[in-house]
């Protein structure tokens, strides 16, 4: 039997890409979950694909009231939440003078504020139960910088800082907090075409399952994932 069989979860950014792959992977392990995104149609399609496993929750995680609604729905339908996966993210890339204030704000609102609001909503529940695992999908961009990535890198460094602080705050309650930091992934994230050698969304989803499946006494706090770049292409940005 899977170590995750019978567990419950909430996954943000669940309508496509990495988030959709995470939902499918956790469902395969016997996890029931609330899938969160702004696109109701995409979530309902996912719920039909995985009947009895996925509860769709169309919500904007930048909105505190909407996040509280997700929490209330999850606790009402699932009873409790074992795993929170903060995956929702957006990226705009360009020189600092090219980024608009609206693009900057959107990255921080979705990537960092959204994760904060979700943690703020679910941490009291997890503290009360003295059980729970928060998994933040950060990025290699939260560990190293690159040209044209100022806003995205800054927001993801913030996710790493949030994760590291929560590790310290929640340790007395025996709660787990982890960050998974993928390199380039085969999605059209940020409007850029994927590289053939990039990680697959399923690779990241597999790591979520691995991190969440660890025994109660084991915490994987930070996982860095990079694609294996073909020898002929090495020397470029991975």
Neighbours of 86 (CB within 10 A): 29
Q: Which of the residues 116, 152, 173, 197 is marked catalytic? A: 152
Neighbours of 230 (CB within 10 A): 10
- Judge whether 197 counts as a catalytic residue: no
For tokens 């928060």, the residue is 134
How far apart, in whole angstroms, are the C-alpha atoms of residue 198 and residue 186? Answer: 6
For tokens 């850029």, the residue is 192
Using CA atoms of 219, 56, 181, 132 in order, give the dihedral in degrees to the nearest 10: -20
Q: Which two tokens stand for residue 228?
A: 């294996």
Q: Which two tokens stand for residue 127?
A: 């503290």
Residues with catalytic roles: 152
């Amino acid at each position: 039997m899977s170590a995750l069989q019978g567990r419950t979860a909430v996954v943000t950014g669940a309508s496509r890409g990495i988030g959709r792959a995470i939902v499918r992977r956790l469902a395969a392990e016997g996890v029931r979950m609330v899938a969160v995104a702004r696109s109701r149609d995409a979530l309902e399609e996912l719920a039909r694909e995985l009947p009895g496993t996925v509860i769709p929750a169309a919500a904007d995680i930048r909105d505190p009231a909407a996040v509280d609604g997700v929490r209330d729905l999850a606790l009402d339908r699932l009873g409790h939440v074992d795993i929170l996966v903060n995956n929702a993210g957006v990226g705009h890339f360009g020189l600092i003078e090219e980024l608009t204030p609206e693009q900057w704000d959107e990255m921080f609102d979705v990537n960092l504020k959204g994760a904060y609001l979700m943690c703020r909503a679910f941490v009291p529940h997890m503290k009360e139960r003295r059980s729970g695992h928060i998994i933040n999908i950060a990025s290699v961009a939260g560990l190293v910088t690159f040209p044209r990535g100022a806003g995205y890198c800054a927001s993801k460094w913030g996710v790493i800082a949030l994760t590291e602080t929560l590790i310290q705050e929640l340790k007395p309650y025996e709660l787990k907090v982890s960050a998974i930091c993928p390199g380039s992934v085969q999605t059209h994230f940020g409007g850029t075409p994927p590289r053939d050698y990039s990680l697959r969304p399923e690779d990241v989803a597999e790591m979520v399952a691995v991190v969440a499946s660890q025994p109660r006494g084991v915490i994987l706090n930070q996982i860095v994932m990079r694609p294996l770049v073909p020898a002929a292409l090495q020397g470029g940005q991975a």
